[in-house]
Amino acid sequence: MNTTSDESRMASDTATPRLTARPSDNAASVARSTLIVLAIVACGWLLIELNRFFLLVFAAIVLSAVFDTITARICRWTGIKRSYGLTSAITLFLGVFIGAFALFGSQLANEFDTITQTVPAAVEMLQGFLERFGMGQAVNELAEMGSDDLSRLFTQAGGFALAAGNGLADFVLVVVGAIFMAANPQVYRSGFLMLFPSNAEPVAAQALDDTSVGLRGWMMGQAISSLLVAALTWIGLWLLGVPASGGLGVIAGLLDIIPMVGPIIAGIPAVLLAFTVSPLTALWTLLLFLAIQQLQGNFLQPMIQKHAVDIPPAVLLFAVLAFGLLFGFLGVLLAAPLTIVAFILVRRVYVETILRKPIEISNEK
């Protein structure tokens, strides 16, 4: 009897510490959960407050992918070392920009001035033309939105060739950062992968490879598309006799970077300026942009998607809207590469790794 009671007391004594440890475990769990929530909130706050900084870093990453692609081609064709190939790539890249603006800078500046000065008069002319047919109210609403804002928008679009953002300092920062990243990409890659646990590192490495291939393919396809759109717009408007055809062509080429919406925005000032010539010229200008849009949508865009990643058009459209609302004009310009990166990461990390469903990236075909 005594032995049984002693064993019961010992069992109760040994059980007591476990019971008293539970409140502390619960407190530690609550504290840990609170810290995780605070960390997530802090990261979100940093993303909001420093969104322009992160966008400029992303622009530098995209540009470094361009430098890396050009460098690889030069080294493959010439057999020189990578350091010399990178120097040649940077020299070629900057030389194209500097040479283009040295040859055509003053002419394009005059044409952009013509656009900003002529658009308000073109809006008034269009309003008078439509009022003859009782449709002036629509143009009145457009005028209330402010033709000056439209002019500023297109001026900023043309100036983006010189500044990745709102100033030359941002452009210089992006270029210098891209050069550093392209000079030794393995340093940044290995440093980024060190942030992940060992079991997650292979997935992160594969995701980085996918996004690198996707960005390089997108840049190559987009460069060809923008050049063709700019050239076709320039030649077409010049043949139609539309004022400032060169500036309008440059705007069309730059805005071709914006999926779906860019060609529509580029067509607005062209049609308005065509009205200063004649309504028939405006109609032909509208048909010209519709034809270029069909070429871009049926030939150029599939070519870009073939080299990058096959993203559904609706996803691209709403991505442009989302990034524009979140980050402004710079977010709209970077909407396509941001969407490509997000789309690849979601499929590779979430769908394949977490949900364990098979996927197929277009650039793997």
Look at the alpha carbons of 204, 210, 216, 218 in this order and tell me if their dihedral is positive or negative.
negative
DSSP 61-104: HHHHHHHHHHHHHHHHHH---HHHHHHHHHHHHHHHHHHHHHHH
Among the residue ranges 75-84, 117-126, 192-201, 338-347, the one predicted with the least confidence is 117-126
Among 214, 221, 207, CA closest to 256: 221
What range does the domain containing 144 cover? 54-364
Q: What is the pLDDT of residue 298?
A: 72
Q: How far apart are CA 265 and CA 81, in angstroms?
A: 44
Q: What is the pLDDT of residue 104?
A: 59
pLDDT tens readout for residues 84-119 = 888 888 888 888 777 766 665 565 566 666 666 666
- 246 with 234: CB under 8 angstroms? yes
Give the chain's domain count: 1
Domain membership flag for residue 33 = no
Q: What is the pLDDT of residue 85?
A: 87
What's the mean pLDDT when you consider all of the chain?
74
Q: How far apart are CA 175 and CA 328, in angstroms?
A: 21
Domain membership flag for residue 140 = yes
Residue 120, pLDDT above cutoff 80: no
Among the residue ranges 75-84, 134-143, 291-300, 352-361, the one predicted with the least confidence is 134-143
Domain membership flag for residue 12 = no
Q: What is the percent of the chain with per-residue pLDDT over 70, rounded to a whole number?
A: 69
The reported pTM is 0.66
CB-facing half-sphere around the CA of 358: CA atoms within 13 A: 0
- 118 with 243: CB under 8 angstroms? yes
Question: 276 in helix, strand or coil?
Answer: coil
Q: What is the pLDDT of residue 261?
A: 74
Q: What is the pLDDT of residue 150?
A: 47
Residue 50, pLDDT above cutoff 70: yes
- Residues belonging to the chain: 365
Q: What is the pLDDT of residue 105?
A: 58
Read off the pLDDT of each residue in 232-246 and give the average, rounded to a whole number: 86
Domain membership flag for residue 27 = no
Residue 27, pLDDT above cutoff 50: yes
Read off the pLDDT of each residue in 122-137 and give the average, rounded to a whole number: 61
pLDDT tens readout for residues 164-183 = 345 567 778 888 888 888 88
Q: What is the percent of the chain with per-residue pLDDT over 90, rounded to a whole number?
A: 0
Q: How far apart are CA 254 and CA 241, in angstroms?
A: 22
Domain membership flag for residue 352 = yes
Q: What is the pLDDT of residue 125?
A: 65
Domain membership flag for residue 28 = no
Q: How far apart are CA 279 and CA 275, in angstroms?
A: 5
Read off the pLDDT of each residue in 322-330 and give the average, rounded to a whole number: 80
Q: For residue 159, give every residue at least 6 positions away whose Cβ sits within 8 Å of its Cβ, in sequence order, or none.
A: none
Domain membership flag for residue 224 = yes
Domain membership flag for residue 195 = yes
The confidence band for 23, taking pLDDT boundaries of 50, 70 and 90, is: low
Q: What is the pLDDT of residue 19?
A: 45
